[in-house]
Structure 1
Amino acid sequence: MQIRSATPADAAAIWAIIGPTIRAGDTYALDRDMGEEQALAYWFGADKEVFVAEVDGAVLGTYYLRANQAGGGAHVCNCGYMTAAAATGRGIARAMCDHSVERARARGFRAMQFNFVVSSNDRAVRLWQRLGFEVVGRLPGAFDHPAHGFVDALVLYRTL
């Protein structure tokens, strides 16, 4: 697996991953009807550094890294990760998280925070906890899940 900086040439492959994830509406608090142009503009926002994970030339995952806050909070970063549905269980998310921790350290961040992890996303919650993140907050009923109704969102945090 190779994890590298994303380029504009990766847009179609990234959309093929983030489009279905956004449409499913069960892990990200994004408008399920968001179009390709708007979704890519969000993912490639000016405040974000974007990466892709490739296996045998195929993009199977993508993540972004950014400062979580400005000013006095700029030493804490935030990331968003999405993996192709066909690549679930292949270690893509874990590799991207490991990569993001190293990249965050290299950029001088002192901690990483996930602001809104949907509590019913069991695989992600377990993975983040195995990778050293702690649940530091719970937002009761903050996410309207398409199958489960209102579920909690979690705030996870780890020092770097």
Structure 2
Amino acid sequence: MKGDVVEIRRGGPADLGALLGMLDGAVAWLSASGRTGQWGSEPWSADEQRSARMADRVREDVVWVAEVDGAPAGVLTHSHQAPEYVPEADEPELYVRVLVTSRAFTGRGVGTALLDHARGQARAQGVGLVRVDCYAGGDGRLVRYYERNGFERVREFSVRDWPGQLLADRVTPGPSATAADR
């Protein structure tokens, strides 16, 4: 429910199971809604290539886990390098690579809390640009979600007929953080 306290902790490889479970839940929900264009209809955990990609994310990226009452409610990973399918930024950036919320906590501000946390990380690291990409097909609901969370459209792209949207948000950088905060 609104008003839940969302605690955010540093995550890592031990959180892969929770991340895959959230992705599986999202696929099941999207599929039940007839919206299979984003991630198809098969669970992420059943696909070796997708599971391996998420294992790479929790090993290579900075991982943040949102919890509500001690239960994993969402996961965000970020890096300072954009994926190969979008143009590189011409300045330092924090790139949100993964953002997913558990279906049990949808509508409770978990995704927004994680995005706000990422912005805080960028500020602390002296970085003024936060970028993210998402599925731009269907009804455009996901693009609008990021816009409601302060991001602006930068450019559309396509990866093997998967329509994507690159979005960005400007933050005011603060003093640089230590390497442990990154």
Range class of TM-score, shorter chain: 0.7 to 0.9
One of 18, 25, 46 as aligned partner of 2:23: 18
One of 55, 61, 72 as aligned partner of 1:59: 72
Look up the equivalent residue of 2:128 and give its one-letter code.
R
User: Cα–Cα, structure 1 residues 65 and 131, in superposed 2: closer, same or farther, change >3 Å?
Assistant: same
User: Cα–Cα, structure 1 residues 37 and 126, in superposed 2: closer, same or farther, change >3 Å?
Assistant: closer
Q: What do residues 63-107 of structure 1 show as CA deviations (whole Å, max 9, x unaligned)? A: 001113499746022102011122221111111111111012112
Tell me which structure has the larger Cα radius of gyration: 2
User: Cα–Cα, structure 1 residues 105 and 12, in superposed 2: closer, same or farther, change >3 Å?
Assistant: same
Provide the aligned C-alpha RMSD in A. 3.2
Determine helix, strand or coil for the equivalent of 2:23: helix
Residues 52 and 63, structure 1, Cα contact 8 Å, conserved in 2 = yes
Look up the equivalent residue of 2:72 and give its one-letter code.
V
Q: Which residue of 1 aligns with 2:154?
A: 136
Look up the equivalent residue of 1:61 and give its one-letter code.
G
> Given the two structures, how large is their TM-score scaled by the length of structure 2?
0.67
Q: Which residue of 1 aligns with 2:81?
A: 68
Residues 75 and 99, structure 2, Cα contact 8 Å, conserved in 1 = yes
Q: Which residue of 2 aligns with 1:44?
A: 58
Determine helix, strand or coil for the equivalent of 1:124: helix
Look up the equivalent residue of 2:56 and give its one-letter code.
Y
Residues 117 and 155, structure 1, Cα contact 8 Å, conserved in 2 = no
Aligned-partner Cα distance in 2 for 1:93–1:123 = 14
Aligned-partner Cα distance in 2 for 1:108–1:8 = 26
Aligned-partner Cα distance in 1 for 2:118–2:155 = 22
Aligned-partner Cα distance in 2 for 1:69–1:143 = 14
Q: Tell me by how many angstroms 1:27 deviates.
A: 3.5
What are structure 1's unaligned runs of at least 5 residues? 145-149
Q: How does 1:1-160 map to 2 (within 5 A)?
A: 1-21=6-26, 26-27=37-38, 34-35=47-48, 38-46=52-60, 48-69=61-82, 73=90, 75-79=92-96, 80-120=98-138, 122-139=140-157, 142=158, 152-160=163-171
Look up the equivalent residue of 2:7 and give its one-letter code.
Q
What are structure 2's unaligned runs of at least 5 residues? 1-5, 172-182
* Number of positions where the alignment pairs a residue of Structure 1 with one of Structure 2: 151
Look up the equivalent residue of 1:133 and give its one-letter code.
F
- Larger relative strand fraction: 1
> Given the two structures, how large is their TM-score scaled by the length of structure 1?
0.75
Look up the equivalent residue of 1:128 and give its one-letter code.
Y
Give me the identity figure in percent. Answer: 25
Aligned-partner Cα distance in 1 for 2:142–2:66 = 17
Deviates more, 1:2-11 or 1:103-112: 2-11
Determine helix, strand or coil for the equivalent of 1:44: helix
